[in-house]
Structures are given as C-alpha cells and as structure tokens.
Amino acid sequence: GLALLLGVGPEAFAAVIAAYTVGARVVGVRPGMTDHQRAALLRDAEVAVTVTDRSGAPGGTDLRPPGADLPLDELLAAPDDGLRPRVPARPKDVARLIHTSGSTGVPKACAQTYEAMTAAWALRPRDWPPAVRELAGRLDRFLVFGTLASQVMLEYGLLALAAGGVLVSADPPDLPGALVRHRATASVITVGRLNRLVTELSSAPADLGGLRALMVSGSPLEPARAREAAQVLGPVVFHGYGQTETGMISMATPADPPGSLGVPPVDLEVRGPSGRPVPAGTEGEIFVRTPSQGAGYWGQPALSDEVFVDGWVRTRDLGSLDARGRLWLSGRIRDVVIVDANVHYAGPIERLLARHPAVMEAYVVAVPDDATGEAVHAFVVPTAGRVPALDDLRALVAARLGEACAPTRLTVIDEVPLTAAGKPDKRRLTRGT
C-alpha cells in the first residue's frame, strides 16, 4: 500500500499519476481527520510507503506514518534513471482505497480495482453522457483546491484535462477571490461553499463573467437554494449525485428543475420493500450498477455483502424516478450526516455523547446548514440533576471524531419518541427541528 498525504498542485498530481503507473495500491488521506482516525486508516490499509508534501505532512514525530516516509520534494529532485516503469498490477488488483466515515468512527475503505478505474467516465469522451458532455465543454480553466485524496476533485480534474482544459491550483482557495484571480471558468464546490459564495456576491458583487460551471457535489442542494444561486450566478450550477462506492450516479444541468438530479446514465432501480422495482413516482431504495463501482470494503467482508448485492450497490438512499426518468432524492435509510461533502455516521457521535457525565441518552440527526450543507443536531436526555452544555459536548466530539462531527445544535428532551417497533423515531425528532 502507498499512502499519499498531499495537497493540490502539479507536483502532487504527478505523484498520483506515478503511483498508478507503477501499479500501486493507492491510499489517499484527506484533511480533517483526527490523529486517531489517520493512524487507524494507515494501519488498516497496510501502508508500506507514504509520500508527503508540506501540506499533508503529519504534525509531530508521534504521528509518523508506518513504513517508509518519502518527502515529495526529495523524490522530485532525484535523478531520472531512464528505466521504463515495471507495472505488476493486473485488472482485478486494487488500484485505490477511497475512505469514507465508518459506523465505528474509524474511516472505512472502499476498494476500486484497476479494471473499474479504467472504466470510469472521466477519461472516456466517447462515453460521456449528455450532462457530462455539457459540463466538460465549460472546463477551460478548472479551479482545483483541497486535496487530490478527494475522489470528486481528482475525477473532475481528469475530466477537465480530457476535455482539453487547464487545471489551476487555488492558493488560498478563497471564493470568489480565487475565481477572479485565476480567471476560472469552472470549479467543484460543496453546498456550504455555494451558499457562502451566493451570500457574499449578493452583498458585494464581483466580476465572474468568465464563470461557466460550478459542480455542486457531496450533499443535497435545496431547490430554493438552487434557484437563488441561479439568480445570482446565472445558469452555471450543475448538481452531481454519487457515492464513494459507485462514483457518479447522475447529474443535473442548469436546465433541469431545481431539486432534480437529472436522468441517470447508469443502471438504476428504485426498489420497494419486496426488493422489486417500483413504478415511476413511487419512493423506494435506490440501487445502482456502474462500470467503475467498488469491489467491496477493504477487510470488511460482512459489510461488503450488505452493500454490494448481486452486482448492484445499495445506496441506502431513498428516492423516485419521474415520468421523464429524472431522479429525485427524498431521504436516507442509512443514519448519516453529510458535512462539507463528507459522510459521518450517527452511531459513533451518539456513543461518544452518551459518555459525557451530563448525558444519559444521545441521538443525532442531520439538519440543513447554509455553511456546510448539513450539520449535526444532538438531542440528549440529561442525567438527573445535570444540564449538558453545547460547548462541552462539541469539545468532546471534536477531540475524538473531528470538528465536522461536533453538534452545532443541542436540544434537551425528557425522552426520545419511539416507533411502533419500539425504536428511536428520528423522523419525529427531525420534524421538530
């Protein structure tokens, strides 16, 4: 395993391409993980070599990754031996491990093979569906930022290159400033960043005349927010839907109705409780099958069997298809909160909150948030005679699971409402927010 702790830039991009060229099993490490999460990730992924640049280097000697640690600048300064790379990888070998939040609080890794990665849509112009083709035509100067460990940032960056565009690294990645400075025509953006951009431009307009596309990804975009963005920015907002396990599932263009996710270009079924497809307009669980989907979760066969079923991927999302074949999301089966495009399971947050001496029971739900797309709302039953404070609970969660998992809202309740089956009824909690 080869771990990459890198930012975004030409050197980092070269390191990513080189890693795949030699057939490595690449592990991307995204920012925002706690020391505990990063250490567990590197251990469980069986990392033998780590490449770091200044933006991704660990903060202290006690955080050094396992195995050899190679600074990127030293690799770039090494002389070229002139030898052609030997590529031992085969199509069914794992090309990369893409991490997302796990139900235990430790990130879980979805394994994608070289065969699946080769079948991905970004580098196959002849296979681009209409929405992707329209987006690709707008990626002349594509602004990248953050980390190439982001599946979305890397794949849309590759799409821009395949379309003949140029990648422009934003440092700092401030918006709208970076869009103006770099004369960017396009970028990827989370719902929270989009909301902040629209708010800022509404009060302090900037010249974004060259902007042609903002690809919104990571969490649902409320229809009202989509309409507001179109009023301020013009017809530039694309909205993508996908998962770590599947890659892109569907994409809405500026011409699609707000709230719609467009017509899926992959095999997709909306299934009812019987496991069979339901008619158009009927809500059900979304199952998909894509050429680039994962092969399973690294080292977690039971979870793999639950999600990867007979060649299909259970998205654990609820939705429906309309009469024109457009996809609409309506909810989730999985108990998660998506903060700044990163998935966080409720279970680890609830268990940690319940360890606080002022908390007897804890339940968390996702609520819309203008800054991050969604945020954590905690409902707690207090210990007798104690009054839990939001700041204390936030500090507890942030220290162990990261700032994104810390609740932004706290509601103290006498007891949690229950379903007919006697389970916590989070829908009733959510309706009360």
Q: DSSP letters along 10-25, please?
A: HHHHHHHHHHHHTT--
Q: What percent of the chain is modeled with pLDDT above 70?
A: 94
Instruction: Give the whole-angstrom CA distance, residue 222 versus residue 207.
Output: 26
Look at residues 115, 129, 116 and name the one whose alpha carbon lies nearest to residue 159: 129
Amino acid (one-letter) located at 334: R
Least confident piece of the model among 183-187, 271-275, 320-324: 271-275
Amino acid letter at 29? V
Pick the residue with more confidence: 20 or 433? 20
User: What is the rounded CA–CA span in Å between residue 270 and residue 427?
Assistant: 21
Q: For residue 147, give the nearest of 295, 342, 398, 402 by alpha carbon.
A: 342
Predicted confidence (pLDDT) at residue 323 exceeds the cutoff of 70 = yes
Poorest-pLDDT segment among 143-157, 270-284, 388-402: 143-157
Name the average pLDDT for the chain: 90
Confidence of residue 62 (pLDDT cuts 50, 70, 90): very low
- CA 417, CA 406: separation in Å to the nearest integer? 23
Q: Which of 28, 32, 31 is nearest to 404 (CA)?
A: 32
CA distance 103 to 212: 38
Q: Tell me, what's the pLDDT at 333?
A: 83
332: CB partners within 8 A, 6+ apart: 316, 317, 318
Question: Residue 219 CB: number of other CB atoms within 10 A?
Answer: 23
Q: What's the confidence (pLDDT) of residue 61?
A: 40
- Residue 227 pLDDT: 93
**Domains of the chain: residue spans and CATH:** 2-114 (3.40.50.980), 120-331 (3.40.50.12780), 336-431 (3.30.300.30)
Q: pLDDT band at residue 89, thresholds of 50, 70 and 90?
A: confident
Least confident of 184-198, 375-389, 407-421: 407-421
pLDDT of residue 236: 98
Mean pLDDT (whole number) for 44-64: 71
Q: Which residue bears the tokens 């991927």? A: 313
What is the three-class DSSP state of 430? helix
pLDDT at 280: 96
Can you give the pLDDT at residue 170?
A: 87
Structure tokens, 86: 């030997």
Please, what sign has the CA dihedral across residues 285, 286, 288, 293?
A: negative
Is 79 exposed, middle or buried, given 0-12, 13-18 or 19+ CB atoms closer than 10 A? Answer: exposed
Tens digit of each residue's pLDDT (9 = 90 or more) over 210-227? 999 999 988 788 898 899
Q: What pLDDT, on a 0 to 100 scale, did the predictor assign at position 114?
A: 95
Average pLDDT over residues 343-365: 91
Beta-ladder partners of 49: 2, 68
